[in-house]
């Protein structure tokens, strides 16, 4: 009896099954790597935003309990240099201010060390990505009453005026040098990670914004958390530096 010889190659069905398995495994690996990178980004950003809080705490220790002002005033009492150009504050943050040769010439310049920036913003390489202000915003609500070096500096936030330091936002991931109540919902994830002039809070870490509070602990918050603050006083809520619980 003559035996039939089986072709040693793969059948079409076997090839399709193999390709499907490979595609499925590749998708799993891709999702896993993306999740791991997101987690790593958040861990780094948490560390860096906490460094901002610690630098501000150090600044307050050296300045009679007063935290760095949102901005300084010029000789004509106009708001001028922003908080992230304060040389004393930056010295506490990175130990060096040599790249700030002349603070009066800084407007519009980039060049901050990546070691203090949000890694998501750095990777995006959008406008102003290499500024601290493209990564984090300073909570300016109830905190715009005075710059450094002027008589009315007493009006700014201090360790004595923060009633609930563990619940009051200090710095938060944002796309501007300020973080404002009016910007709590208007940031969009699509297309832009740089600085825009509207105090937008950036929920860029898996739909969450990273916060360092005045006691220097960190948390991730969502837009739903913001809605809860709205229900409990809005801009007067302790999160924004107010007194309403």
Cα dist from 10 to 5, 24, 131, whole Å: 14, 20, 57
Q: What's 87-156 look like in SS3? A: HHHHHHHHCCCCCCCCHHHCCCCCCCCHHHCCHHHHHHCCCCCCCHHHCEEEECCCCCCCCCCCHHHHHC
pLDDT of residue 63: 86
H or E element in which residue 14 lies: helix 12-62
pLDDT of residue 71: 79
Helical residues (DSSP H) of 181-236, grouped into ranges = 223-231
In terms of C-beta distances under 8 Å and separation of at least 24 residues, what long-range contacts does 37-40 make, across chains too? 38/205, 38/206, 40/119
CB 174 within 8 Å of CB 192:
no
pTM: 0.78
Main-chain phi, psi angles of 237, to 5 degrees: -65, 150
pLDDT of residue 190: 47
pLDDT of residue 226: 94
- What the block records as the tokens of 99 is 């790249």
- What the block records as the tokens of 68 is 């760095």
- Name the stretches of the chain with pLDDT < 70: 1-10, 31-35, 73-80, 96-111, 127, 144-155, 188-197
Cα dist from 12 to 16, 17, 20, 96, whole Å: 6, 9, 12, 65
Domain ranges of the chain: 14-240
pLDDT of residue 125: 79
H or E element in which residue 31 lies: helix 12-62
pLDDT of residue 74: 62
């Amino acid at each position: 009896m003559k035996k039939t010889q089986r072709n040693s190659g793969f059948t079409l069905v076997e090839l399709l099954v193999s390709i499907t398995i490979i595609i499925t495994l590749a998708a799993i690996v891709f999702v896993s790597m993306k999740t791991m990178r997101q987690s790593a980004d958040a861990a780094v950003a948490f560390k860096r935003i906490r460094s901002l809080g610690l630098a501000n705490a150090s600044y307050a220790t050296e300045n009679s309990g007063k935290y760095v002002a949102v901005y300084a005033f010029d000789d004509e009492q106009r708001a001028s240099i922003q908080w992230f150009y304060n040389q004393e504050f930056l010295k506490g943050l990175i130990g060096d201010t040599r790249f700030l040769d002349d603070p009066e010439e800084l407007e519009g310049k980039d060049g901050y060390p990546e070691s203090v920036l949000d890694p998501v913003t750095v990777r995006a390489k959008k406008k102003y990505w290499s500024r601290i202000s493209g990564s984090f915003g300073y909570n300016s609500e109830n905190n715009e009453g005075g710059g450094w070096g002027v008589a009315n500096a007493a009006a700014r936030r201090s360790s004595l005026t923060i009633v609930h330091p563990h619940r009051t936002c200090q710095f938060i991931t944002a796309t501007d040098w300020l973080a404002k109540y009016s910007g709590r919902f208007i940031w969009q994830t699509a297309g832009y990670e740089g600085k825009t002039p509207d105090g937008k809070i950036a929920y860029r870490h898996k739909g969450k914004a990273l916060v360092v509070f005045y006691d220097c602990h960190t948390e991730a918050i969502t837009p739903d958390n913001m809605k809860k603050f709205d229900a409990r006083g809005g801009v007067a809520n302790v999160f924004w530096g107010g007194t309403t619980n």
